[in-house]
Amino acid sequence: MDKEKVYKLNSDKGNELSVPLKNAPMKEHGVIDFLVIAAGFLLITPILSAHRVTDFMIFCIFVMSFDLMYGYMGRLSFGHMLFLGTGAYCSGLFIRYISGNPLLAILVGIFMAGLLAMLIGLVIVRTTGACFSLINLAFNQIGFFLVLSPLRGITRGEDGFGVRVSSFGFFNFANTTFKFWFVLLCLLLVFYLLKRVTTSPYGILIRSIKEDETRVKFLGYNTFFYKWLTFVLAGGVGGLAGTLSALNYNFVNPNMMDVHSNVGVVFASLIGGAGNLYGALVGGVVYMVISNFLPIYIHRWEMFLGFSLLIIVFKFRKGVWGNIQDIWEYIQKRKGAPRLAA
Amino acid sequence: MLEIKNLDVAYGHAKALHDISLNIETGQMAFLIGRNGAGKTTLLKTIIGLLKPLKGSITYQGNEISSLSPEEHYLKGLRYVAQEKKVFGNLTVRENIEIAAYASGEPVDIALDKITSIYPKLKDFLKTKAGQLSGGQRQILLVGRALVGEPKLLLIDEPTQGLAAIVIEEIVSILSGLRDKVSAVIVEQNLAMVNRLADRVHILKEGKVAREIIDKSEISDTRGLEEYL
């Protein structure tokens, strides 16, 4: 197709614009990213055990999905656990009542979380600021209540239920090593997908929406559509994290949709540095290390998290990765070398 | 091309524009001048769809546009450059241009060439975050970005406000290069610029059009215009 034509607006209805993602110029995506990420998780596996690192990676997937909405689009959600819970419950219930096929269960979990995001996104993305955060929280609370009480007949309320997956050819989720590699593959795929998305014109657009939505409208964009799309994408990826959690623990309970757990993903995003996928990974790992190991040494470890947040907010707004980037750029500037890839 | 008839606009109960009527022909550069609070920016914001009129009509190329959204205005070829010189500060200069190119359907390379041809210095800043540009460079980027695609009517609010004389000269040069190619409605207090570029001047006072000048010799008489500022 002629390169000039692909930039034409796909608009028959006037104001419903869409930027053609697949035809947009992409920045180079080095294999080195994947090697570094994979190596990082492999290196910590002997220290922390494969099961725990699998848990870390699932959380990192969840943080990346949250970061797409918060770090890139500037919409802070206090209800992102809804999608993790939806993914976990839908895949778990699918396995429990319909089929033990884990791959189908994963697809069901992603689809249902995405579908939920599609529906509630129609309302939520019309709002901004505190309203956006609180409406998300409200929907999360509704979801939590539903699985806890009205749907108790199938979800078994606060007791939760076990998830027993059949071995499906090569896919054996009873095997910890297999789960580790499968989740690592999912993490790399999600990273690749979100990297492509965030460096595409769509990525530029959602970052522009974060800065000033009104001015984006003046450039002819239907911002509602792009916000909704981002919400759905974040919801779907959050759903994937939920299905992987269900498969990793072989268990689903309301904690997977608990509104209080939203604190974790917000913290992780801020610790790592919002608006950067590497930051999401770093933040996810750092948060998991803190929340897994600090309670052993400090009884009220949550207080430590509170102090950490204060320090981040007042002194290190860019988080761990953002500050590493700044230091790197400073060094490169002094050397006159190219910038560190964002 | 643009016809405004009996336009009333209010902020809540406070009326800001009273019975405004004006007419701008294709290819003309019309300037809105007047004191602070005269309603110049309000008029631009109403034309672009940011404010809805209480009464009256805004007709562009024969179509009523006062009820259209900002994105629909863009599709019709209207481009708005706001007063605040707000670029997308966390995006690079290149990305600021790209986002306009994708929306307009113009290939990025052509959009980049278009903007760097009117201001070649921008080539050196393509990878720089737009927030790090000077006020003048930001303004030129905004004007340049408004030219991406096929703009038909530019609405520019105080393009030279707070800028150094040398930058003002560059902006005047860019705008004079657009003469007869696009129409423009420009809010401006710099009478030297008005003198050089204006085909017509609308003087606003307390939300009303106090005077309309189309005679070039009258426009050149900056002393005569000064009394309205």
Domain ranges of chain B: 2-226
At residue B94, the pLDDT reads 93
Question: Sign of dihedral through CA atoms B186, B189, B190, B195?
Answer: positive
Q: Is there a contact between B91 and A4 if contact means CB atoms under 8 Å apart?
A: no
H or E element, residue A218: helix A213-218
For chain B, positions 73-92, list CB contacts with chain A under 8 A.
Answer: 73-75, 79-80, 82, 86, 88-91
| Most A-contacting residue of B87, B99, B147, B155 (CB-CB within 10 A), to test interface | B99
Dist CA B213 CA A205 (whole Å)? 42
At residue B53, the pLDDT reads 92
% chain B with pLDDT above 70: 98
Q: Where residue B178 falls among pLDDT bands split at 50, 70, 90?
A: confident
Q: Pick the closest to residue A206 from A221, A218, A220, A191 (CA basis).
A: A221
Q: Where residue B228 falls among pLDDT bands split at 50, 70, 90?
A: low
Both tokens of residue B204?
């606003």
Q: Pick left, alpha or beta for residue B39 (phi over 0 → left; psi -120 to 50 → alpha; otherwise beta).
A: left
Q: Is the pLDDT of residue B36 over 50?
A: yes
What separation in angstroms does the CA of B227 have from each of A135, A309, B173, B221, B222? Answer: 54, 57, 26, 11, 9
The total of other beta-carbon atoms located within 10 Å of residue A157's CB is 16
Q: What is the mean pLDDT of residues A91-109?
A: 93
Dist CA A73 CA A212 (whole Å)? 10
Residue among B82, B91, B127 whose CB faces A208 most closely: B91
Q: Is there a contact between A212 and B102 if contact means CB atoms under 8 Å apart?
A: no
Dist CA A84 CA A255 (whole Å)? 10
Weakest mean pLDDT among A3-17, A141-155, A204-218: A3-17
Please answer whether residues B129 and B90 qualify as being in contact, where contact means their C-beta atoms are separated by less than 8 angstroms.
yes
Q: Which CATH fold topology does B2-226 show?
A: Rossmann fold (3.40.50)
Both tokens of residue A84?
């993790």
Both tokens of residue B11?
């902020």
Q: Is there a contact between A211 and B90 if contact means CB atoms under 8 Å apart?
A: yes
What separation in angstroms does the CA of A219 have from each of A78, A192, A227, A295, A317? Answer: 30, 29, 16, 50, 30
Both tokens of residue B170?
């560059």
As beta bridge partners, residue A168 has A171
For chain B, positions 10-49, list CB contacts with chain A under 8 A.
Answer: 48
Convert the pLDDT of each residue in A151-188 to its tens digit: 999 999 889 999 888 777 788 888 899 999 999 999 99
> Residues, chain A, total?
342
Please answer whether residues A28 and A231 qualify as being in contact, where contact means their C-beta atoms are separated by less than 8 angstroms.
no
Please answer whether residues B187 and B44 qualify as being in contact, where contact means their C-beta atoms are separated by less than 8 angstroms.
yes
The total of other beta-carbon atoms located within 10 Å of residue A137's CB is 18
Print burial letters for A54-75: b (CB count within 10 Å at least 16), e (below 16). Answer: bbbbbbbbbbbbbbbbbbbbbb
Q: Pick the closest to residue A45 from A192, A173, A177 (CA basis).
A: A177
Q: Is there a contact between B75 and A220 if contact means CB atoms under 8 Å apart?
A: yes
Q: Is there a contact between A25 and B103 if contact means CB atoms under 8 Å apart?
A: no
Q: Where residue A337 falls among pLDDT bands split at 50, 70, 90?
A: low
> Within an 8 Å CB–CB cutoff, is residue B3 touching chain A?
no
Q: Where residue A16 falls among pLDDT bands split at 50, 70, 90?
A: very low
- The pTM for the full model equals 0.85
Q: Which residue is it, tokens 């709002």?
A: A127
Please answer whether residues B19 and B7 qualify as being in contact, where contact means their C-beta atoms are separated by less than 8 angstroms.
yes
Sequence-distant (≥ 6) Cβ neighbours of residue A205 within 8 angstroms? A19, A216, A221, A226, B99, B102
Provide, as residue numbers in chain A, all residues whose Cβ is less than 8 Å from the Cβ of B70. 214, 217-218
Please answer whether residues B157 and B83 qualify as being in contact, where contact means their C-beta atoms are separated by less than 8 angstroms.
yes
The total of other beta-carbon atoms located within 10 Å of residue B126's CB is 15
Tell me how close the Cα of B88 comes to any Cα of chain A, in angstroms: 6
At residue A336, the pLDDT reads 65
% chain B with pLDDT above 90: 35
